[in-house]
Amino acid sequence: MKVTSLVLKGYDQTDTFTEAASSELLSLKKSIVVTGRMRGIAGQQQVALDPNDVVELVFEDDTTGSAGPIRLMKCFPK
C-alpha cells in the first residue's frame, strides 16, 4: 500500500520557495513548515501525492530525509 496524501498541521510557505526550488528535473509542489511551537495554532494542510512524487522532510535540527509514497508507508505506518 502507498500513501496518496499527507495531512500536516503547519503553515504553507510554498510561495516563498517555488521559483528558487524548481529545476529541469524537479519542481516544488508544496512547502509546509511544521514546528512544535506552531502545531496547536496552525491550520491543516493536505498534500496529494502522485506515484512519482518525492517528499523531502527537513527537521528542526537540519536532518533531512526523502521518500516516495511507498517508502513513506513503510516509515510511517498507520
pLDDT tens-digit series, residues 14-45: 777 666 656 777 777 788 877 777 666 767 88
Instruction: For 1-78, list the strands marked E by DSSP.
Output: 5-9, 11-12, 32-33, 44-48, 55-58, 64-67
d(CA 42, CA 54): 24
If one counts the domains in the chain, the total is: 1
- Rounded to an integer, the average pLDDT of 61-77 is 80
Owning domain of residue 36 = 5-75
H helix intervals, the chain: 14-21, 69-75
Of residues 75 and 68, more confidence is placed in 68
Read off the pTM. Answer: 0.64
